[in-house]
Amino acid sequence: MPSGLRDKFILMIIVQKYGGKSVATIDRIRDVAGQIIENHIEGVGLVVVVSAMADTTDELLRYAKLISSNPRERELDMLLTAGERISMALLSMAIWDSGHSAISFTGSQSGIITDDVHTRARIIEIRASRIISELQHGRIVIVAGFQGVSAKREITTLGRGGSDTTAVALACAIGADRCEIFSDVDGLYSADPKRCDDAVHIPEIDYETLFDLTFFGAKVVHPRAVELARKYNIPITLASSIHKEKRTMVKSKAMEGTNFVAISSQEEIFWVSTSADRKEIEEILNHLDKSRTNIRSPYLTDDGNLAHLSFWVLPEQADEVKKILDEGKYDYETQMASLVAVSGYGIAESSEAMTTIIKILNDGKIPFAHIGTTNRTIFVVVDKKYREKVESLFHRKLIVGRS
């Protein structure tokens, strides 16, 4: 905690983040204000990061597409940052209305300095002096999520779902005791509780496993925020602003032994495979990197004649990948597929984990395009029509039915 804050009777500093569903309506915003005030009265110094109300960001994007088929990225950032600005101002008003003092800041006013890549900027530095001084004055600070300002004083956004990253980055910058991410689900489950009735709640998880689960499709928090929290050792809590009994604590400790903990899935991924000589593969990767395309799970083999590269991207990046590959006249194949992943401990060191997965897929006669692994995960790329079946088989056989 920065010196000076403790003398002001602030016992601890917490950064809280409220997602779009938590601030979806005027009543929800009032509820959130109430929860914030309760914490404030207990002596917690609060920095609150908000997302845009419910579907506002999608709606603004829709307007942009109605005006132009190819909107300028700078103007897109100007437009989309307005969503968070609405929720931050309303929340601050609600707090004042209950007799407490708050102040709302845009990303730029909060001192969040980014690079100048519009629509997918990275945070370079946070100059948090204004936030700290407001905390010293006993105010609740509300910050618009997912945005910052570049050195050229242009307004930037961090990419979809970026408010989680804002929250964790601020927690690092001001030395917060922890970061609490509030959404409409009360933490992490062994499968998406909206899709799977017998999903079990997970009270504790380590950063690395959580990173994988979110990277492969769990929506509780953005993977970039998890990575940042792991790097700077910021404790995170995943909770609901509506159902308050349960929450998930994220810590650095992992368990030993092979143990599957949860599954995640992506309904739609854009799967790409190309064959070319190694120089060309280098060129392709270079182009993808320059355009800041987030290629995921890249896999490269060389048969002595040609090199074969495969990877996947989220569907919204499919067009830019196709454009790059078409412009270079490369040979490639693509597929809109689904991905199902199962994550846990001790997976990289265990042939048992892979054997079990193959047996399940073989017994279920499920064709797959690719199986990949990380330290914590085995993932399978399948035709979209098999997603649900693989999900329920994995969940039943590897997690709930195991004991």
Is residue 24 part of the contact set for ligand ASP (CB under 6 A)?
no
Nearer to ligand ASP, 200 or 314 (CB): 314
Q: Is the distance from CB of 177 to CB of 14 less than 8 angstroms?
A: yes
Which of 16, 22, 51, 183 touches ligand ASP by CB under 6 A? 51
Residue 107, binding choice from Mg ion, ligand ASP, none, Cβ under 5 to 8 Å by partner class: none
- Binding segment for ligand ASP (CB under 6 A), chosen from 120-128, 136-144, 159-167, 247-255, is 159-167
Please list, residue by residue across 287-322, b when 16 or more beta carbons sit within 10 angstroms of its beta carbon and e when fewer do. Answer: bbeeeebebbbeeeeeeeebbebbbbbeeebbeebe
Q: Is the distance from CB of 219 to CB of 160 less than 8 angstroms?
A: no
Structure tokens at 297: 């799970």
CB atoms within 10 A of CB 336: 13
CA–CA dist 244, 31 (Å, integer): 12
Q: Is the distance from CB of 142 to CB of 104 less than 8 angstroms?
A: yes
Q: Is the distance from CB of 145 to CB of 17 less than 8 angstroms?
A: yes
Is residue 159 part of the contact set for Mg ion (CB under 5 A)?
no
Which of 57, 110, 114, 240 touches ligand ASP by CB under 6 A? 57
Q: What is the CA radius of gyration of the chain?
A: 22
- Binding segment for Mg ion (CB under 5 A), chosen from 159-167, 193-201, 206-214, 319-327, is 159-167
Residue 145, binding choice from Mg ion, ligand ASP, none, Cβ under 5 to 8 Å by partner class: ligand ASP
Is residue 147 part of the contact set for ligand ASP (CB under 6 A)?
no
Residue 18, binding choice from Mg ion, ligand ASP, none, Cβ under 5 to 8 Å by partner class: none
Is residue 52 part of the contact set for ligand ASP (CB under 6 A)?
yes
Nearer to ligand ASP, 19 or 45 (CB): 19
Q: Residues 101-140 vs ligand ASP: string with x where CB under 6 A?
A: ----------------------------------------
Which parts of 360-399 interact with Mg ion (CB under 5 A)? Answer: none
Give the DSSP H or E segment for 144: strand 140-144
Q: Is 148 helix (H, G, I), strand (E, B) or coil?
A: strand
Q: Under the rule (CB under 6 A), what is the footprint of ligand ASP? A: 20, 51-52, 57, 83, 145-146, 160-163
